[in-house]
Amino acid sequence: MRVLVTGATGFVGSRLVPALIEAGHDVRVLTRDADGYDGPAGEVCEGDILDAGTFEHALEGIDAAYYLIHSMESGTDFAARDRRAAHNFQRAASEAGIDRVLYLGGLGETRQGLSEHLMSRREVETILADGSYDLTTLRAAIIVGEGSSSFAMVEQLVHRLPVMITPKWVRTECQPIAIADVIAYLVGCLDVPETAGDTFEIGGPEVLTYRELLERTAGIADRSLFILPVPVLSPKLSAYWVDLVTDIPKAVAHPLILGLKNTVVVDDTRIEELVPIERTDFTTAVERALGQQTEPDSAERAERAQIEPER
């Protein structure tokens, strides 16, 4: 299949491109800086999705496109930018007549009062769903892997702080997923027509509170950690101390922290039947993210995604 990957220089997209090539697809990527792209894609297109008229050529002759874009780094107006980007892409992909779009969004129940970041991810999903193609959405919580902004925050906190005073969000449940599993689902959906036009929730095999996630990560990193939850500390205040302790850009860290109040756990498990993979346990995912274990090689990836490796 001729596939376009947007966000191909990002944490998820840069791992998706080689996996799609291994699965036998022709891959084209879109980036705002083609000269800076050093991945294995056969074709590189330059364009900015926020700027209609600059990126549409990337969709010509494409069967399926992955939408892996967000604008969090741009600051407080990220939701407006992501809304505009999604509208531009939806219009262009519909006009180009492509068959499928696959979007990786966020988990979380809207009736719970989602954070601005999670609400924005859901709004993008709604906008993309208006296109004339079949949209597949995969909703995920924190993705564990090297280079994931959300996991980098966890990693830096446990490496730099022996004691954490936290608000009650440490009791919120989440379902982290290994980057290798996210890639296996993203690639797998392309071969399963039943996933076209539908939304799925993806998660790893364990549900953890954020407290457990921090404590387990600290244990794997061989760090001691004492967590003291106090009811008076607001999520906004904890965002400020995360600024002091980590080097995650404020514009990215704050929306993520304000989302910690939302339970992000898989409720709908249909994807496990449609794209059966052997899911990675949390400890292995963290060991890989911390460089204590290598990520699965192409033969392992192919086996997990139940496809034959290319000879």
Please, which of residues 217-236 interact with ligand NAP by CB under 6 A? none
Cα(244)–Cα(233) distance, integer angstroms: 16
- Among 10, 108, 131, 255, interactor with ligand NAP by CB under 6 A: 10
Mode of pairing for the β-strands spanning 26-31 and 163-166:
unpaired
Q: Is residue 142 involved in binding ligand NAP (CB under 6 A)? A: yes
CB 262 within 8 A of CB 108: yes
Q: Is residue 85 involved in binding ligand NAP (CB under 6 A)? A: yes
Mode of pairing for the β-strands spanning 26-31 and 43-46:
parallel
Binding region for ligand NAP (CB under 6 A) out of 43-51, 93-101, 236-244, 268-276: 43-51
CB 156 within 8 A of CB 245: yes
Q: Is residue 11 involved in binding ligand NAP (CB under 6 A)? A: yes
Cα(86)–Cα(92) distance, integer angstroms: 10
Q: Is residue 258 involved in binding ligand NAP (CB under 6 A)? A: no
Phi, psi of 28 (to 5 degrees): -115, 145
Phi, psi of 9 (to 5 degrees): -90, -5
Extract the runs of DSSP E, i.e. beta strands, from 63-133: 64-67, 100-106
Q: Is residue 13 involved in binding ligand NAP (CB under 6 A)? A: yes
Sign of CA dihedral 156, 160, 166, 171: positive
For ligand NAP, what does the binding mask look like between residues 264 and 293, x meaning CB under 6 A? ------------------------------
Choice between 64 and 69, CB closer to ligand NAP: 69
CB of 186 to ligand NAP, least distance (A): 10
CB of 251 to ligand NAP, least distance (A): 11
Q: Is residue 176 involved in binding ligand NAP (CB under 6 A)? A: no
Determine the residue type at 275.
Answer: V
Binding region for ligand NAP (CB under 6 A) out of 28-36, 94-102, 156-164, 233-241: 28-36
Residue identified by tokens 């074709």 is 43
Length of the chain: 311
CB of 189 to ligand NAP, least distance (A): 14
CB 56 within 8 A of CB 20: no
Q: Is residue 9 involved in binding ligand NAP (CB under 6 A)? A: yes
CB of 61 to ligand NAP, least distance (A): 19
Choice between 33 and 310, CB closer to ligand NAP: 33
Q: Which stretches within 162-209 are classed as H helix?
A: 179-190
By the criterion CB under 6 A, which residues form the site for ligand NAP?
A: 6-7, 9-13, 30-33, 48-50, 68-71, 85, 104-106, 121, 140, 142-143, 148-150
